[in-house]
Structure 1
Amino acid sequence: MSQRINAFAMGNKAVNALNHMGTQVHHSSLDRSFLELLYFRVSQINGCAFCLDMHSKELRANGETEQRIFLISAWRECSFYTDREKAGLLWAETLTSLNGKEVSDEIYAEAIKHFSETELVELTMAVIAINSYNRINIAFGADVGTYEVAEKSTI
């Protein structure tokens, strides 16, 4: 891919608004480790190599097991993800691949069983944020492999 613009370095107001939303989600009541798993899974679905690199490094730096990282795409079949994590991942996958479909009552019921109304809105915003970051990185060809975990993690 040829060199493209760095949308995050431009000071663009819309990108800044997305970053602000990401910061708000980061400071939400949702567990930071779970959010990183969710970001990793959504990035897998979207094929965002930059975000996969970033979130795998964040997950490992914060003590997530290799097993849970490697098997996240098969979370439905694994006993080492909690019911809450599974409900959140189902919600995230559903929102990521809506394709004009509604979220079913069954999926909503499973999510609201494990997340408060406030948490479900925060979870939805997290899914919106990572999907947006994925699309920006894919569109503009982010420099995959360059992400470095901050000395003090943000999780």
Structure 2
Amino acid sequence: MKNLHSFLLIVFLSFFVTSCSNDNDDTLFSVVGEWELTEWNANIMLDLNNDAIASFNLLEEVACINNEILTFEANGVVTSNNTFNPKAQFFLQADQQHSGSIDCSTEGSIGFASSYIEAGNTIEFNGSVSELIGNQIIRTFQDEIKIYNEDLSQVIETRDLILVYTKR
């Protein structure tokens, strides 16, 4: 009888431990696989394509070809063969509205290969730390966006560049 109680206790504890979940966790995604660049944000609402619809996501505002895919391999290597890297200029107009331009002619096939370290919901590669949130990787580059005065002679503010990659 004592063995039966011990057995039932072990079964109950095993069931209890494996059935617990944290309701605050999103579905966990492995970083291994392909991640497509889906947002290129400067935290500025802009209408660069003059369609009367401003967006934070500059990919929605330009006709540049975006083929950027990050490929994370199980062996700890991340690669990209087509990094999205147009030339962008942003300025504050006299009416205090942000404006800018993005030159797609500087596009090319800039690639890289790097090792990465995944720790919980963070991924470190290419000298920066990114967050893994659900099925997205968020890469933030502090003060990467420079906003000039109207004649482009002086930087008057900076903004973070936020890249969002979505798992394919």
Q: Which has the higher contact order (CA 8 A, sep 6+)?
A: 1
Instruction: Give 1 or 2: higher helix fraction.
Output: 1
- Structure number with bigger Rg: 2
Judge same fold: TM > 0.5, yes or no.
no
Instruction: Give 1 or 2: higher strand fraction.
Output: 2
**TM-score for both structures, normalised by structure 2:** 0.21
**TM-score for both structures, normalised by structure 1:** 0.22
